[in-house]
Structures are given as C-alpha cells and as structure tokens.
Amino acid sequence: MRLMSDHEMTSTIEFKPRPSVLLARLLLAMHGLAVLTTLLFVHHRAVMPVLLLLIGFSYYRSYRKHVLHKGSRAIRRIVWQADGGWFLEDQSGVMREARLRPSSYVHPRLVILNFDLTRSKGRPSVVLCPDSMDTDTLRRLRGRLRTQGKIAADKSQDSYTKAYESLK
C-alpha cells in the first residue's frame, strides 16, 4: 500500500467519469430483482404492468445518467480544487460551483459523491466504481475524501463501531 504525499493530498483533482461495467451490472441486478419480486408477489393484473413499466423506466434513467453520463443533468467532469472548492461540468459544458454533502459515501469499491449546487438549484450525485476512472486518480480521490472531505459515512461507521464495542 502506497501512502499519499502532501502534494497529492493538496493538489487539484480533476476527472471525467467513464462508463462503468460494474455499475451497469449492479443496476441490472437491482432492477432485475425488483422485476422478479413484482412478478412473484404482485397478483393484481392491473397493477403489475404499471410497476414493471416504472421499474423499466427507473433502470433506463439510472443507466443513462450514472453509467453512460448522458442527459441534461449528468455530470461529465468534476474538479476538486486544492483550496477545497468543487466544480461540476454538465453535458452542455456549463461549469457550476458545488458543495460536497456529508451524505457522500467512500468505500474501496464504491464512491458516491452527493453535491449541493451553490448558485442554482439541484443536488447532483455521481456514482464511481473502480472502473469509472483511472486507478491512481480514484486512489487520490478516496484518500483525500477520507482526510479532508468531511464525509458523514466515516463518522457513522465510527459510531456503529463504538456502539458495537459497548455491547461486548
């Protein structure tokens, strides 16, 4: 395991998320289970086609936005500046300033970045799997998020660990 240098911790991180095969498989599995559950447990003939249509629409929107990074709200480029500022570029090329929300999540196999746009309405999210970007940039991003990102997931994990330890 390689440690990050001070320069890597404070330098600007810029990346364009790539389409992720892993995320596509995960979305397909989740929506496939929703279809299977609907087929097994919904017995009302009028409701089932509506539910299946809604599940299909959800899969289409999620795949297009989070896997292909297409659509008007999809983020095509992310910049995390050395001073901590975030900028998101959408499909039309407009760069917007954003703030990382504490509800973001960091894990070695999955990073979910939740943002609030500072000068306009919107709460975009970006889902990153290991194949969404080059390994070095993803490693730098995860490391910096853990040390400087103020991610709530890390704090909640600590509280779960403390609660578990107190039960022993």
Which residue bears the tokens 């300033």? 97
Separation CA 131–CA 87 (nearest Å): 22
pLDDT at 153: 45
Separation CA 22–CA 58 (nearest Å): 18
Tokens representing 134?
């080059």
Which residue bears the tokens 């499909």? 91
Q: pLDDT per residue over 92-104, tens digit each?
A: 899 999 999 999 9
Residues 6+ positions from 114 with CB-CB distance below 8 Å: 100, 101, 103, 104, 123, 125
How high does pLDDT run on average in the chain? 87
For 122: left if phi > 0, alpha if psi spans -120 to 50, otherwise beta; the answer is: left
Q: pLDDT per residue over 29-60, tens digit each?
A: 999 999 999 999 999 989 999 999 999 999 99
For 12: left if phi > 0, alpha if psi spans -120 to 50, otherwise beta; the answer is: beta
Name the more confident of 165 and 40: 40
Contact between 78 and 113 (Cβ < 8 Å):
yes
